[in-house]
Amino acid sequence: MFFIRNLFHAVFIIFAVSTITFILLYVSSDPVVMLLPPDAPREEVIALRESMGLNDPLVIQYARFLGKLVKGDLGYSFFYKESALKLLVERTPATLELACFGMIFALVIAIPLGILSAVKYRSGFDNLSLGFATIGQAVPIFWLALMLMLIFSVFLGWLPTSGRGNWKNIVLPALSLGAYPMAAIVRLLRANMLTVLRMDYITVARAKGIREFWVVTKHALKNASIPVVTLVGLQFGSMLAGTIVVEMIFGWPGIGRLAIFAIYHRDFPLVQASVIYMATVFIIINLIVDFIYGLLDPRVKVGRMAL
């Protein structure tokens, strides 16, 4: 029941998002002027607009768009002359790869750092780790990306500046993308661990003689990680839909870059498809997070069923 309700919400959100995007796009500009040479004669602009059906009333164009949408047809890119959905699907592996590696990097650094900061509360290590996390959250991605490129590509010559190919290509984009979620996870995990470590059941576990390592990793971490799962889920959604800056800087052939191109050139079908795609990704990730939440904390499931 819970999933059916969420599914209904998801369809409604996608419909609302696509309608708003459609209206905003069509009132804001004209793709024909971006397709033609900058100084193209006005007659040519009119002729091409007519042949593309852009002279039809907005309602008719919208009905046409909806008609195609229900059949799963997200339209045909004006610039690429290909199916918009196909273009998005082609770029999905690149974005998925980047988001996964970015998140793996974030988690590998953030989880030990968050736990150790809480365990060594107010120590030099804790201060250092908090400072590290604050910088990670404060530094803009574009700046970090360019600095990493300058150090590791230009000065040291270890890693390539751009592109997608072998494992070396993913290192700098993943580090840049993972920095912000890493910092956010460190702070949240540390705060939650501090709360949990002071709870009675932890004292009981320690009194029972369980080794401190297991107290922290098995008993405390499980409860402290519930809000972290939500954060990771949301951050991962943002990464899948919003790797734009990293993709632009490192020339990474992903969805964010395609969306920027589409918006910049007023490639209406491609913008629509990108928005619908990104909204869908966010919704699916939220559903998965809800599901995992239920697994980690059975009270959540019970609470929902009681509603």
> Residue 164 is encoded by which pair of tokens?
């997608």
Residue 15 sits in the site that holds other proteins (CB under 8 A): no
Binding residue count for other proteins, defined by CB under 8 A: 57
Residue 30 sits in the site that holds other proteins (CB under 8 A): yes
Q: Which of 21, 103, 266, 285 binds other proteins (CB under 8 A)?
A: 266
Contact (Cβ atoms closer than 8 angstroms) between residue 254 and residue 149: no
CB of 101 to other proteins, least distance (A): 17
Q: Pick the stretch among 83-91, 102-110, 130-138, 214-222 that binds other proteins (CB under 8 A).
A: 83-91
Residue 123 is given by DSSP the state: S
Q: What is the per-residue DSSP string for 33-102?
A: HHHS-TT--HHHHHHHHHHTTTTS-HHHHHHHHHHHHHTT---B-TTT-SBHHHHHHHHHHHHHHHHHHH
Site for other proteins in 137-156 (CB under 8 A): 146, 149-150, 153-154, 156
CB of 98 to other proteins, least distance (A): 13
| Residue closer to other proteins, measured from CB, 13 or 139 | 139
Cα 39-42-46 angle, rounded to 5 deg? 130
CB of 208 to other proteins, least distance (A): 33
What is the CB neighbour count within 10 angstroms for residue 61? 16
Helices (H), the chain: 2-28, 31-35, 42-51, 58-70, 84-119, 124-138, 141-149, 167-197, 200-207, 212-214, 221-224, 226-241, 244-249, 255-264, 268-296, 298-306
**83 - beta bridge partners?**
76
Residue 181 sits in the site that holds other proteins (CB under 8 A): no
| Residue closer to other proteins, measured from CB, 52 or 288 | 52
Q: Taking CB under 8 A as the rule, which mask of x and - marks residues 202-221 in contact with other proteins?
A: --------------------
CB of 107 to other proteins, least distance (A): 21
The binding site for other proteins (CB under 8 A) comprises: 28-31, 33-45, 47-48, 50-51, 77, 79-82, 87, 90-91, 94, 146, 149-150, 153-154, 156-164, 168, 248-251, 253-254, 257-258, 261, 264-266
